[in-house]
Structure 1
Amino acid sequence: MLQLQNDTPFIANIAILPDERGVDTAYVTVKATFDLQGGAPRVAAKQRPLVVSDEFWGTPGQSSLKYASEVHLLKPHTDVVLIGEAHAPGGRPVESCLVGVRVGELRKVIQVFGDRQWSRGVMAPRISSPVPFVTLPLVYERAFGGTHVVDPEKQQVLAELRNPVGVGFRGKRSHSEMLGTRLPNLEDPSNLIQSVADNPRPFGVGHVPPSWAPRVSLAGTYNDTWRMTRAPYLPLDFKREFFQTASEGLRSSGHLKGGEPVELVNVSPEGALRFALPRCALGVSLYIARERHDPPVQLETVQLEPGHKRLCMLWRSAVPCDKKALKVRLAHIQLKSLEGAS
């Protein structure tokens, strides 16, 4: 009988899944939750459970992804994701401010505007003045994107495939049809929208859903050939990067190690949060039949929730077991050392 011996204060799980080659593999996942109440992170008394399936802000397919599933194959890189709100500096209403996220060498800055719309101009629609705000959700519903129903009867719909739930997407709308439509609140400060013809990349810091471009292109080809020769395993052209959910600019090259400096600007009433990622040395031992395996443990996800003063870090390791899947008898997880957290 498979046993899990977890000698850490964190949540641990083991799952046996076919890898991208179709080989049964034992995956051990460790998820740590830290409190960010001033000073260095502290191990939270209540650890957050694993997310076993994607959780959306609203109706799936019609809203953005809040929490991504944490039960999957290995990620080749570390994702950094922020879930939260923009906060006006000093708590005083502003028309616009910058939000910054930095983890190690990863850095992303977003220009956050109050609500705006396209208004009547002399020659073409112009951007209205932003409505002052104090807090504003950092969700993809407020980034560039959206859909345009061109012909309801023929079900002809155009969409920004990188963010179909956003705002500002023109499609085939005329200038007059764009009047009164919303502009995105979240923009790339180096490529701000100037006219209704602009088509910038959606700019956010949250999880990217599996059905959005470019992530969906990494899922592989599911056609008759796949059904006849490969199903139920993943297609041969499946790419492991499919499991990366971080937005552009917040995915590391390789894996973070812990200890990287973190700076979050204007995502909490404090204005700026600065700390270092805890450095956790984890040991995973898998006993399959009479053999012991000690696979490497990689940091796959850093999830920041400054509104809840919360940091979650998730590690994963894997050992192919294939025809010995039923002989995986014990997963032993140890915390060898913990630096930068109390």
Structure 2
Amino acid sequence: MLQLKNTTPFQAGMALFPNEQGIDTLYITLKATFEIGKGLAVAAEQRPVVLADEYWGEPGVSSLKYASEAHLAKPATDVILVGEACAPDQRPISQIDVTVAVADRRKTVRVFGDRIWEGGLVGLRMTSPTPFERVPLIYERAFGGVHQAEGVALFEARNPVGCGFVGKKRKKEIEGMKIPNLEDPADLIGKPGDQPPPAGFGSISPAWEPRKSFVGTYDEAWQKKRAPFLPNDFNPRFFNMAHPDLVCKGYLKGGEPVEVVNASPNGPLRLKLPTCWVEASVQVMGKLEKPPLYLETVLIEPSASALCMTWRAALVCGKKAMKVEQVELLLQSLDVKGKAA
């Protein structure tokens, strides 16, 4: 009987399903939660592996809060921030830049207070942003949305739950429309018809672009030759759920610098990722296999004082899938040197 022996202080899970080539593969997941305080420490309460997508509201009409961690392997590390923009010293402001940087990935989002389009003498104009202390960093507040026009749904494929998408609306319909709170400082909205990339730090839903473009072709040929396996043109980048600007070039190793600015009431966060040497040992028909664990996700949640790191190992089993006897996870070393500032 297959057993999972987890000797680490972290949460673990495993699943057996076909890989991109349709070959039965054992996937092992290890998730570590660290508490952010004066420094970093292993959290007393470890977060479980997320088995299904969790949304901010109703699935399909709201954005992802936590993406499922039960899937095939990612080809690179995702960096994800869950949180809110916070005014320094809790003094209301009308706009602020929030920055997240991990290793060589750096992204800044400009956060404005609430604004709408209003009529003017020469056309529509923005109202001044309303001062705020906190604004949720969710895609509902970034550019996007849906417009039902003459029985046809027009929508922003990169973020259908957002705001600011005018579609074919007339001037009178645009008056009073909400303008996105979250914008790219290099591509700010200047007029109602602008369509900048949605700005954010959260997970991208599987039905949104650019993830949707990587899913492959499910046509008659696939139905006859490949179903129920993934199509030949499936791209593993589909499993990278972070904003495209926060998908790393490869896998992070641990020890990389982390900086988060204006996303915590406690001020800027500067530290280094913990360096964890974790090992997976799999016993298959009396033979020991050691598939490498790759760091797939770095999740930062300043408001919860939490940082999570998730690794995954994949062992192609094929016809030996039912002969896997035991999976053991070992923590060989842990170096937590980061200090919050």
User: Common fold, TM-score beyond 0.5?
Assistant: yes
Q: What is the match of residue 32 of structure 2?
A: 32
- Tell me the distance in 2 between the aligned counterparts of 1:341 and 1:43: 12
TM-score by length of 1: 0.97
Match of 2:10 in 1: 10
Alignment-derived partner of residue 248 in structure 1: 244
C-alpha distance after superposition, 1:81-137 (max 9, x if no partner): 000110011110000011010111110011000000001122220010001000010
Q: Distance in 2 between matches of 1:200 and 1:14?
A: 39
Residue matched to 2:229: 233
For residue 336 of structure 1, what is the amino acid of its counterpart? Q
Amino acid at match of 2:92: P
Indicate the percent of aligned positions where both proteins have the same amino acid: 51
What does the per-residue CA deviation read over 1:171-221, in whole Å, with 9 as the maximum and x for residues that have no partner? 011222211000000000111111112110101000000000110111111
| Aligned amino acid, residue 37 of structure 1 | G
Alignment correspondent of 1:131:
130
Question: Are 1:147 and 2:143 matched, yes or no?
Answer: no
The number of aligned residues is 338
Task: Specify every segment of 5 or more residues in structure 1 that has no aligned partner in the other structure, as ranges.
Answer: none
Report the equivalent of 1:336. 332
Structure-2 residue corresponding to 1:82: 81
Of the three residues 156, 171, 193, the one matched with 2:189 is 193
2: CA distance, partners of 1:216 / 1:268:
32
Corresponding residue number in structure 2 for 1:46 = 45
Q: Which runs of 5+ in 2 are unaligned?
A: none
**8 Å Cα contact 1:145/1:162 also seen in 2:** yes
* Aligned residue number for residue 173 of structure 2: 177
Question: Residue 217 of structure 1 aligns to a residue in which SS?
Answer: helix
1:279 corresponding residue in structure 2: 275
Matches of 1:226 and 1:341, distance apart in 2: 50
Q: Taking structure 2 as the reference length, what is the TM-score of the superposition?
A: 0.97
Q: Is 1:309 equivalent to 2:308 in the alignment? A: no
Runs of 4+ off more than 4 Å? none
Work out the CA distance in 2 between the residues paired with 1:102 and 1:219. Answer: 28
Distance in 1 (alpha carbons) for counterparts of 2:115 and 2:244: 25
SS at match of 2:245: coil
User: CA separation in 2, counterparts of 1:197 and 1:70?
Assistant: 37
Greater Cα shift, 73-82 or 291-300: 291-300
- Assess if the C-alpha contact under 8 Å between 1:304 and 1:310 holds in 2: yes
C-alpha distance in structure 1 between counterparts of 2:316 and 2:288, whole Å:
12
Partners of 2:314 and 2:197 lie apart in 1 by 35
CA RMSD of aligned residues (A): 1.0
Q: Within 2, Cα distance between the matches of 1:104 and 1:171? A: 38
